[in-house]
């Protein structure tokens, strides 16, 4: 749908209000026979389910001996504020991710951010990288999966990840609310991982609320008080950095 007409004389809507466009009846979208596997999600909007099935059809066209396809990221959050779809393709063969991304964009009108991983590579990521754990804590998969993992702390890898979050300190006013949230989430996921706690979308968001005393929506809506927030942020950042540095120094002895 290219255009949506809202009458000038409308009750309850002022100029500049945000609106969400929803399908009036779910039955307008025919549900494919193939069932999806949900992890950390209760339900999705019907249009998103339709998009996921379409993504799986595109991926099937370009792959053989496929192990799994996993949809994750902001696409799965409530509403329609996502910019792209994060797609993990688990396969041993080489796959041209650019072709898949282009085809998804042409068919769906939403960019596909495709990551190609082997089964072994995915397990290694889950063992060593808190971001992998968080990604798979809330996802939709083509096939049911169970990965037995054993946490291994790679301090140098965590140091590289943490460095990304320093951007918030140096560029507070230049960043959007979503960008700030991503940097905060990145730092807190590393903190939980070092504490050997569960790293999920929910556990990270709860820790953000507990640590900074602000709701996730306040960060995303970019309504933070710079002075008070950055004071806490720098404290946590330095604490996590010191923990990583000690781990690196200890590992080099």
Enclosing H/E stretch for 233: helix 226-252
Proportion of the chain above pLDDT 90, given as a percent: 72
- Mean pLDDT over residues 131-142, rounded? 94
Q: Which is more confident, 83 or 253?
A: 83
DSSP β-bridge partners for residue 71: 87, 140
Categorize the per-residue pLDDT at 54 as very low, low, confident or very high, splitting at 50, 70 and 90.
very high
CA angle at 125 for the pair 121 and 129, rounded to the nearest 5°: 165
Query: Is 112 buried (19+), middle (13-18) or exposed (0-12) by CB count in 10 A?
Result: buried
**Domains and their CATH numbers in the chain:** 29-141 (3.30.460), 155-252 (no CATH)
Mean pLDDT of 166-175: 96
pLDDT recorded at residue 149: 82
Helices (H), 151-225: 155-170, 177-194, 201-212, 216-220
Work out the pLDDT band at 1, boundaries 50, 70, 90: very low
Name the strand (E) or helix (H) holding 72.
strand 68-72
Would you say 143 and 37 are in contact if contact means Cβ atoms under 8 Å apart?
yes
Is a pLDDT exceeding 70 seen at residue 192? yes
- CA distances to 12, 137, 188, 195, 224 from 158, in Å: 48, 19, 12, 13, 27
The residue-averaged pLDDT of 49-54 equals 94
Can you give the pLDDT at residue 109?
85
Mean pLDDT (whole number) for 220-230: 94
pLDDT given for residue 6 in this prediction: 60
Taking 90 as the threshold, does the pLDDT of residue 110 lie above it?
no
Mean pLDDT, rounded, for 84-96 = 92
At 71 the three-state DSSP class reads strand
**pLDDT given at position 96:** 86
Res 227: pLDDT: 94
Kindly indicate the confidence band of residue 83, based on its pLDDT and cuts at 50, 70 and 90: confident
Query: What is the reported pTM?
Result: 0.81
Which band of pLDDT confidence, cut at 50, 70 and 90, is reported for residue 29?
very low
pLDDT at 250: 81
Contact 237, 212 (CB under 8 A): no
């Amino acid at each position: 749908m290219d255009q949506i007409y809202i009458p000038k004389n409308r009750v309850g809507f002022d100029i500049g209000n945000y609106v969400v466009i929803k399908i009036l009846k779910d039955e307008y979208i025919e549900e494919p026979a193939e069932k999806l596997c949900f992890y950390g999600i209760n339900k999705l909007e019907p249009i998103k389910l339709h998009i996921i099935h379409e993504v799986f059809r595109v991926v099937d066209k370009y792959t053989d001996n496929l192990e799994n396809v996993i949809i994750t990221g902001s696409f799965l959050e409530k509403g329609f504020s996502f910019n792209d779809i994060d797609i993990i393709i688990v396969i041993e063969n080489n796959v041209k991710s650019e072709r898949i991304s282009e085809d998804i964009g042409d068919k769906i009108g939403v960019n596909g951010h495709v990551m190609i991983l082997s089964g072994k590579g995915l397990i290694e990521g889950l063992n060593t990288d808190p971001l992998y754990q968080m990604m798979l804590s809330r996802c939709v998969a083509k096939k049911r999966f169970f990965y037995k993992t054993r946490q291994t702390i790679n301090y140098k890898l965590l140091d590289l990840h943490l460095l990304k979050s320093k951007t918030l300190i140096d560029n507070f006013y230049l960043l959007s609310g979503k960008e700030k949230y991503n940097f905060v989430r990145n730092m807190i996921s590393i903190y939980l991982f070092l504490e050997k706690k569960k790293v999920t979308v929910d556990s990270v968001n709860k820790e953000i609320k507990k640590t900074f005393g602000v709701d996730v929506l306040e960060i995303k809506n970019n309504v933070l008080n710079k002075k008070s927030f950055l004071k806490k942020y720098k404290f946590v950042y330095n604490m996590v950095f010191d923990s990583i540095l000690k781990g690196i120094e200890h590992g080099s002895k």
